[in-house]
Amino acid sequence: MSDVLNILVTGSNGQLGSEIKELAPQYKYNFFFTSKDDLDISNKEDVKALLEAKNIEVIINCAAYTAVDNAEDDFEIADEINHFAVKNLASLAKEKSIVLIHISTDYVFDGTNCTPYKESDTTNPNGVYGKTKLDGEQAMQEVNPSDSIIIITSWVYSFYGNNFVKTMLRLGKQRDGLGVIFDQVGTPTYAKDLAKTILDILPQIKNKNVEVYHYSNEGVLSWYDFAKEIMKMAKIKCGIKPLETYQYPTKAVRPHYSVLNKAKIKSTFDIEIPFWKDGLDDCLKRLNERK
């Protein structure tokens, strides 16, 4: 590997990809950012041509089909992006000794645990989105490129893109009150914190077999708690009423419990993970500055 790594970031217009793009100038790497408009990751030949042309040594795969409810009717496209494209990336990574960092989701679990999910826990996705993401994980593990990892994360939000935080801010200003689910528990992940972690641990990734790691911010809360804190920090006067899941039906089943155990990533790479309120505070400040 060269001193200055050539890094391909796929899905770079998404929440995580956009945060990596913003942090990129702080790191001594050569970054190549692609989106679905300029690189179809399900086209193996196109990906191979780019890897060779740019002498890519690391792929950070942020590309994914993430429309959870739409996926229920859109299996083929979700499977193409979340499963087969990941298999392509893994086989090219193995062939060319490229480090592959792939991002997955808490939806690979069914949410029936009552203690934080460890990497060794049994997966059992409830819907198409989770199933296609799990199939992508398993395809990558079967191909088994060395020095490659899967990071499972949850409840991602960011300064960029559409997400729960921005939706709450928008609705909070439009309405006097909102109902938010209180019986789904997990931890938000501030995409900027995850982006920084990925770039920080990159030089330390050395493993023969694909390793799975969990990452979210620290702490545990419900969507209701999260919404309450968003309104409080943003000083928006909007009453938040707790709803049970059955009162807000969705096409895809959401996991009731998505808390991730992060001991493995913390001990392997000697990192500290910020508390969820600190991430939210930073995100709100950035959104406020943009105004």
Q: Which residues are catalytic?
A: 129
**Are the CB atoms for 64 and 86 separated by under 8 Å?**
no
Which strands sit side by side in the sheet containing 58-61, from one edge to the other? 30-33, 6-10, 58-61, 99-105, 149-153, 211-214
The Cα 244–Cα 223 span in angstroms is 11
For 24, the token pair is 């990129």
The Cα 38–Cα 11 span in angstroms is 10
Q: Is 216 in a helix, a strand, or coil?
A: coil
Q: At residue 271, what is the residue type?
A: I
**Are the CB atoms for 115 and 176 separated by under 8 Å?**
no
The Cα 65–Cα 264 span in angstroms is 27
**Eight-state DSSP code of residue 71:** G
**Which residues touch 270 (CB under 8 Å, ≥6 apart)?**
none
